[in-house]
Amino acid sequence: MRFELISNSRDAIVGMRLAGIVGTLVRTEAGAEKALAEAVKKEDVAIILINEGLANKIPESVNKFKNHGGKPLVVVIPDGKSEGRAADSITKYINEAIGLKI
C-alpha cells in the first residue's frame, strides 16, 4: 500500500517525492477531478493526499471520497498558501490523523 499526492504545487510534488510519495501536478479544477478519480481507482493506493487549495476547488468530489468509509483514505493537507493555521498545525494534523506524536 502506498500514498499518492495530488497538488498544484511543484515544490510539494518534489518534497513528497523525496519521501517516496508519488505525486500528480494539476493546475485546473478538471485536472484535479480527473487525478482524484484515477487515484481512487488504483488498487495499491491506501492514502490520497490532496492539498487544501485543490480540495477547496472540488469540495463535492473530495467529500464524496472522504466520507465513503472505505479504501483509500482521502486526506486534505495544508498548502503553502493556507492562512489562519497555528504554527504547529501540521504536527497536530499528523497526530490526529495517524496518532503519531512528533
The architecture of the domain spanning 2-98 is: 3-Layer(aba) Sandwich (3.40)
Domain residue ranges in the chain = 2-98
Q: Which pTM was predicted?
A: 0.77
The gap from C-alpha 35 to its chain's centroid, in whole angstroms, comes to: 11
Read off φ and ψ for residue 35, nearest 5 degrees: -65, -40
Spell out the per-residue pLDDT of the chain, length 102, in tens: 799 999 999 998 998 898 899 999 999 999 999 999 999 999 999 999 999 989 999 999 998 888 877 789 999 988 776 655 555 666 676 676 666 565
At 59 the pLDDT is 92
At 102 the pLDDT is 55
